[in-house]
Homo-oligomer: A and B are copies of this chain.
Amino acid sequence: MKDSLRPPRPDVRPSALLSVLASAHRLQAGIETALEEVGLSMAKVGVLRTLATEGQPLALGELAERNQCVPSNITQLVDRLEADGLVRRESDPKDRRVRRASLTDAGRRAADSGGAIIEAWEQRVAATLGEDATTLQRALDRLDEKR
């Protein structure tokens, strides 16, 4: 993936495609670095915030849907969050197939601190884009529509 994101060499005109991918990659890298300082990642914060917003334990399948990923991904992410002491797995007595993830106190605090960092970046990005935000938004939407 990284290879496709290589920066333009002086003699070559950068394609819009590669520019978009590279920019997004660098943007994400910046956020990941910021989150590292509190021992978190975007993936982890995503799960923690989903749980915090929900306010109650969520089945892993639910978590996968909300985070737009595959179930096995959540299984492993929750493994790590559990090892970090941020989340606990609970059984559902109603249906013994389902496992629910619930936030620990440390998990709630992590959701807050990680969330604050991401919101700060959202502010920064919004401010940087300014009036171009809507243009950019529409442009990206058009790209998505093309599948």
Nearest residue, chain B, Cβ from A25: B24
Copies in the complex: 2
For the complex, is A5 an interface residue (Cβ under 8 Å from B)? yes
Which residues in chain A, 1-32, are within 8 Å of chain B measured between CB atoms? 1-7, 15-21, 23-28, 30-31
For the complex, is A132 an interface residue (Cβ under 8 Å from B)? yes
> Is chain A's interface secondary structure helix, strand, loop, or mixed overall?
helix
Instruction: Classify chain A's interface size.
Output: 35 or more
Q: Which chain B residues border A30 with CB–CB below 8 Å?
A: 147
Contact, CB under 8 Å: A23 / B132: no
- Which of A21, A137, A140, A147 has the largest number of chain B CB atoms within 10 A? A140
Contact, CB under 8 Å: A67 / B20: no
Contact, CB under 8 Å: A46 / B6: yes
Q: Which chain B residues border A3 with CB–CB below 8 Å?
A: 42-47, 50, 67-69, 77
For the complex, is A136 an interface residue (Cβ under 8 Å from B)? yes
For the complex, is A98 an interface residue (Cβ under 8 Å from B)? no
Q: Which residues of A contact B (CB under 8 A)?
A: 1-7, 15-21, 23-28, 30-31, 41-47, 50, 66-69, 73, 77, 118, 121-122, 124-126, 128-129, 132-144, 146-147
20 CB < 8 A contacts A-B? A2-B46, A2-B68, A2-B73, A4-B43, A4-B134, A6-B46, A16-B122, A16-B125, A16-B126, A17-B126, A19-B140, A20-B23, A20-B140, A21-B24, A23-B141, A24-B24, A26-B143, A128-B142, A129-B142, A132-B138
